[in-house]
Amino acid sequence: MRLIVNIPAFNEEEKLSETIKRIPTRFSGIDEVFVQVIDDGSSDNTFDIAKTAGAHFVYANGINRGIGKTFRHAVERALENHADIMVNIDADGQFNPQDIAKLIALILEHKADIVSADRFGEHKAKNIPWIKDSMNRLAANLIGWFMNVPIKDLTCGFRAYNKEALLRLNLPGDFTYTQETIIDALGKGLKIRWVPVEVTYFAERKSRVVKSIFKYINSSARIIIKAVRDVRPMKFFGIPGAILMLLSFVFFGMFIVNYLGDFKISPYRNQLFFGGGFFIVGLQFVVFALIADMIRSNRRLNEDQFYLTKKELYKK
User: Do 46 and 96 belong to one domain?
Assistant: yes
Give CA separation, 242 vs 146, 255, 291, in Å: 16, 20, 16
91: domain CATH number is: 3.90.550.10
CA angle 27, 30, 35 (to 5 degrees): 75
Cα dist from 169 to 37, 161, 182, 188, 308, whole Å: 20, 10, 10, 9, 12
The last residue of one of the domains, among 199, 231, 263, is 231
User: Are the C-beta atoms of residues 15 and 88 closer than 8 Å to each other?
Assistant: no
Q: What's the pLDDT at 48?
A: 95
Helix (H), strand (E) at residue 117:
strand 114-118
Q: 141 and 127: one domain?
A: yes
> pLDDT value at position 139?
82
Cα separation, 82 vs 311, in Å, equals 11
What pLDDT is attached to residue 216?
Answer: 62
Domain boundary among 231, 266, 291: 231
Residues 43 and 8 in one domain: yes
288 and 167 in a single domain? The answer is no
Residue-number span of the structural domain to which 132 is assigned: 2-231
User: Do 101 and 183 belong to one domain?
Assistant: yes
Domain boundary among 171, 203, 231: 231
The per-residue pLDDT for 263 is: 82
Q: How many domains is the chain partitioned into structurally?
A: 2
Q: What is the pLDDT of residues 106-155, one digit of tens each?
A: 999 999 999 999 988 776 666 676 777 777 888 888 888 888 888 988 88
Considering the domain architecture, whether residues 62 and 128 belong to the same structural domain is answered as: yes
What average pLDDT score do residues 19-46 get?
A: 95
Determine which helix (DSSP H) or strand (DSSP E) holds 119, and give its type and residue range: none
| Tens of pLDDT, residues 180-233 | 888 889 889 999 999 999 887 765 555 555 555 666 667 667 777 777 888 888
Contact present, 114 and 40 (Cβ < 8 Å): no
Mean pLDDT over each residue of the chain, to the nearest integer:
88
The pTM of the whole model exceeds 0.85: no
- Whether residue 224 sits in one domain with residue 238: no
**Averaged over 268-276, what is the pLDDT?**
91
Q: How far is CA 101 from CA 3, 50, 76, 117, 172, in A?
A: 11, 22, 23, 11, 30
Q: Is there a single domain that holds both residue 170 and residue 261?
A: no
- Whether residue 242 contacts residue 235, with contact meaning beta carbons closer than 8 Å, is answered with no
